[in-house]
Amino acid sequence: MHFVDAEVWPEGSLEVLSQLEVDQLRSSGQSGLYPLLRRCMLAVLNSGSESDDTREVLEKFKDFEVGFIQHDRGLKVSLKSAPSIAFVDGNMIRGTRELLFSVLRDIVFTRNEIIEDPRFDLTDSLSITNAVFHILRNARMLTGPVDTNLVVCWGGHAIARGEYDYTKLVGYELGLRGLDVCTGCGPGAMKGPMKGATIGHAKQRVRHGRYLGVTEPGIIAAESPNPIVNSLVIMPDMEKRLEAFVRLGHGIVVFPGGVGTAEEILYLLGIMLHPDNAGQPMPMIMTGPSSAAAYFKQIDEFVGKTIGPKAQSRYRIIIDDPPEVARTVHAAMREVRAFRREHGDAFYYNWRLKIDEEFQRPFTATHDSMSALDIREDLPAHELAANLRRVFSGIVSGNVREDTAAAIEQNGPFMINGSERIMKLLDALLRSFVDQQRMKLSAADYQPCYRVIA
């Protein structure tokens, strides 16, 4: 294991900080940003790591430190005991340096211009949507496109090699059709579509392909940004990350995954089932190789038996056919384009999409909050979807967040309660994720962080 000490000039963003901002970044106190900054910068520098255990990563680089050197001509960042994987011949890789300063940009902006700005009431639905817009605009995610061509790809980081190769084939077909890709920025199904799209873009001489990565501090250490990402944004929490996906994207492709992917599916379905979104086009394709057919069958059955056939009508499942996936998405973009034009809506940000406050309010997974979730058949479909999403979100937190994992070690697994029928369906789905080794990269010895009880 090798470490590097280095001093780095900014690349791409936030070349200048005020003394107040630097003091905030240096401070480890309650109002300081240093712990958050250190965590996110370490994740960027550790891109390519084979571990998704946040505590293991933080322990491995426990001596890693970030400092700031003020010069008349700008800011320089000093790094101590940084991962050597971020350097070549003693120099930081340029793409890594760009992403490193994207972290700095987003953390400073979100604290000073969003959280501490009285213009944004983060308990109000419309204000939250505006805050997401401002963070994305500051990250230069809204400089285009002039067309509807951004495909959001969801899927797991802990997937089999055959499934990963399939995501590359789909990405390649998307790239051949001039479509750009946005993912959660990590490895696995988040990296594969980007990798494939780069080849498709190269063949079509698309010189400014966009490979957008959207993440948040709670998972970034377990899912370090992959090296293909050329625009990265750190959203302040999972809910704003999910909103960024559906406001930015013009279509969704879902690859095999685990609880995180199930969370994303239920988030989108819950939103699209809201009556105000009845006529809004949002193409959603679930796809994977033949080996993943059973996975999507289980997801489809769970959706149908919990939130109903109307939810099933909002997506299509295509197995083992990358060209058909890309053709379907590409064709659906025309409907999205026509709808946006008819209603005078922007191509680069979906303002018309109604997102209920239930899907925007940050959910912190604790033993009390998980056991208190209301999961029963007589809830409106979009409300049941919101609470089921929180179940999966809590399990993701237990799998990857070091503070949640520590609470589970101390107090035992989360207890998930609900109606007997839904709990049986949920338990069967989660057991299948464990059996198929979809929970973590170290899936062979995975110990569930939850218990499902009726």
Q: What spatial distance separates the first Cα and last Cα of the chain, rounded to whole Å?
A: 47
Q: Tokens representing 60?
A: 């491995």
pLDDT mean across residues, the chain: 89
- Residues with Cβ within 8 Å of 305's Cβ and at least 6 positions away in sequence, in order, are 421, 425
Cβ partners under 8 Å of residue 69, min gap 6? 7, 75, 76, 77, 78
Average pLDDT of the residues in 79-99 = 90
pLDDT tens digits for range 139-183: 999 876 578 899 999 999 888 899 999 999 999 999 999 999 999
> Three-state SS for 32?
coil
Q: Which residue has the higher pLDDT, 34 or 174?
A: 174
Q: How many Cα atoms sit within 13 Å of 348 on the Cβ side?
A: 13
- Closest CA relative to residue 76, chosen from 11, 27, 29, 20: 11
Q: Where are the domains of the chain?
A: 3-117, 144-342, 359-452
Average pLDDT over residues 20-43: 78
**Cross-strand partners of 4:** 82
What would the mean pLDDT of 430-442 be, rounded to a whole number? Answer: 82
Q: 10 Å Cβ neighbour count for 67?
A: 13
Q: How many CB atoms lie within 10 A of CB 451?
A: 12
Q: What is the pLDDT of residue 212?
A: 96
Give the separation between CA 157 and CA 13, rounded to whole angstroms.
28
Arithmetic mean of pLDDT, 183-201 = 95
Q: What CATH number belongs to 144-342?
A: 3.40.50.450
pLDDT of residue 443: 55
Q: Where are the beta strands (DSSP E) in 130-238?
A: 150-154, 180-183, 211-215, 231-234
Tell me the one-letter amino acid at 187: P
Tokens encoding 243: 């909103």
Q: Per-residue pLDDT for 403 more than 80? A: yes
Query: Which pLDDT value is given to residue 10?
Result: 72
Q: Does residue 20 surpass a pLDDT of 90?
A: no
pLDDT of residue 12: 58
The model's pLDDT over 375-384, given as tens digits with 9 standing for 90+, comes to 999 999 888 9
pLDDT at 430 over 90: yes
Mean pLDDT within 266-274 = 94
DSSP 63: T
Tally of CB atoms within 10 A around 283: 21
Q: Alpha carbon of 377 to those of 166, 189, 388, 416, 422: distances in Å? A: 36, 32, 12, 15, 8
CATH class of 3-117: alpha beta
Distance, CA of 125 to CA of 162 (rounded, Å): 41
Distance CA 178, CA 46 (A): 31
Q: How far is CA 406 from the centre of its chain?
A: 23
pLDDT at 54 over 90: no
pTM of the model: 0.91
